[in-house]
Amino acid sequence: MCLIAFALGQHPDYPLVVAANRDEFHQRPTAAMDWWPEPNILAGRDLQAGGTWLAVTADGRVAAVTNVREGTPEPARLSRGELPLQALASTEAISTHLAQHGTDYGGFNLVVLGTGERLDQGWYYSNRDAHPGRQLHRASYGLSNHLLQSPWPKLLRLRQAVMTTLMLAPADDTSGLHQRLIRPLQDQTPAPDHALPDTGVGLATERFLSSPFIVGEHYGTRATTIVTVRRDGEVTVTEQSWRPDGHPNQRRQFCWQREPLI
């Protein structure tokens, strides 16, 4: 998962909204989003290292992980894909675990969304942050392959597009909202060179990775995921997978009811 925009408490009827792209090598084996029997979560599955990049619980909480882009990453002892699962089990336990073992993972960002009774709170941790572990409150956020809210062009563009779309969303058209949120995640506009970050991978690679939606023969955007939790308790998750040429592949949508929110 390499680009996430999310809104906590920014719409009166949708207190939690997540819009995300997963960028990965196309040859990496992956299982599509589905319910896992143990634990009871909805998530895609990384069939190479195990774990997942984004997971949703039955009560609508969401956890997602992105890597931190580094020119010469150090080998990691543990897989980042286990972090969303651990975080959804217990934020207190994962906080303690990361304080002790955070350096055993490659550079990562972890967000847990829906930690309050109203689902408009969250928690963020990065093992590349000088002060890791912070609470998130009602606001709009963006996360890519650097620290939370780092002003990368694609992050800024997506965060604004998600908020604009959300502000115009009626409460009774969740499917339409999901369709409209997928569109800005398909944006292939590259950032101008002067706005590119320098993460140590070279200018050509920075250009290739600078758009919200990445199309490449070997590496690119493989899945788009939208999650909304409505105040009446409706939880809806859409996963759109993509082929290497950027054309749509399989789409899955899951919808269920939890207790209405306070």
The band of 219, judged by pLDDT with boundaries at 50, 70 and 90, is very high
* Cβ atoms of 73 and 145 closer than 8 Å: no
The band of 1, judged by pLDDT with boundaries at 50, 70 and 90, is low
- At residue 116, the pLDDT reads 79
Rounded CA-CA distance 128/73 in Å is 12
- At residue 141, the pLDDT reads 98
The band of 38, judged by pLDDT with boundaries at 50, 70 and 90, is confident
Fold of domain 3-257: Penicillin V Acylase; Chain A (3.60.60)
Per-residue pLDDT at 61 exceeds 90:
yes
What mean pLDDT do residues 67-79 have?
86
What mean pLDDT do residues 84-103 have?
94
9: left (phi over 0), alpha (psi -120 to 50) or beta: left
Per-residue pLDDT at 156 exceeds 70:
yes
- At residue 73, the pLDDT reads 75
Per-residue pLDDT at 75 exceeds 80:
no
Give the DSSP H or E segment for 224: strand 219-229
Rounded CA-CA distance 189/187 in Å is 6
- At residue 72, the pLDDT reads 76
